[in-house]
Amino acid sequence: MGMNLRRVAKRFATNLRKFSHFVGRPLDRDVIAAAYLHGAGLEIGALHNPLPVPKLAHVKYVDRLSVEDLRNQYPELASEPLVHVDIVDNGEELATIPDASQDFVIANHFLEHCQNPIRALLNHFRVLKPDGILYLALPDKRYSFDSERPSTALDHLWRDFQEGPKWSRQQHVEEYVRLVQKIRDHAEIDKAIAHLLETDYSIHYHVWTEIEMVEFLASVRQRLPLDFEFELIFKNRLEIIFVLRKAGAPA
């Protein structure tokens, strides 16, 4: 299960051939999606920014709330068109989605919102068919409003997985209030924390730099009975795109 860097590098070189017919187009989210996504799949938490997919890909949109409730949760998106939510479900659990039923899962700027990202990854791979694709994009904290926050340590992520994330939730929310919202007054800090907890507002619970994302995903691959390959890792301006392929021959 260990990572063989030479094998990974060779695989990346081979996979670059997928983009040969996109000559003249810069490599970006859309081109990567066109190269890897086909069949029927899910996009989790698309909100106002769904991933454009090729004609051979058919997407159902998953979110934890209906569109009406999402409007209430995110008043800052009032002027934005939101995708129709086909499936109301917790994107970390995907409890309503059968095992091995999807050709692809898209989770762009989602994993950092997960209180238990390792469990989320397990469930994303659970619903994928053998040879299915998990398409992830994660923001590099250095180039976002999270820049002053400390990166989430691997030990912390594994404790969230093993014990559940309840022990660390308030800690993350307080860090968000202090270092992102930059509230200084103690009474206002307590008020902001209480509001975010009460409304279950979806903050960035976990933050990473590029290399820390790679280390995290490699750790998951090494420590769990979860067999997948790194098809592509691509720095797309302020985010990192990962294309991960579930092991096994397609049906």
pLDDT in tens, 35-84: 999 999 999 999 999 999 999 999 999 999 999 999 999 999 999 999 99
Tell me the domains of the chain and their CATH numbers: 5-165+205-246 (3.40.50.150)
Residues 205 and 174: beta-carbon distance below 8 Å: no
pLDDT in tens, 126-181: 999 999 999 999 999 999 999 999 999 999 999 999 999 999 999 999 999 999 99
Backbone angles phi, psi at 200, to 5 degrees: 55, 40
3-state secondary structure of 240: strand
* E strands, the chain, in order: 39-44, 57-63, 87-88, 102-108, 128-139, 228-236, 239-246
Query: In which band, very low, low, confident or very high, does the pLDDT at 249 lie, cut at 50, 70 and 90?
Result: confident
Question: What is the pTM assigned to this prediction?
Answer: 0.91
State the first-to-last Cα distance of the chain, in angstroms, to the nearest integer: 23
In sequence order, which residues have a C-beta less than 8 Å from that of residue 59 and are 6 or more positions away?
A: 41, 42, 43, 50, 53, 106
Residue 23 has pLDDT above 70, yes or no: no
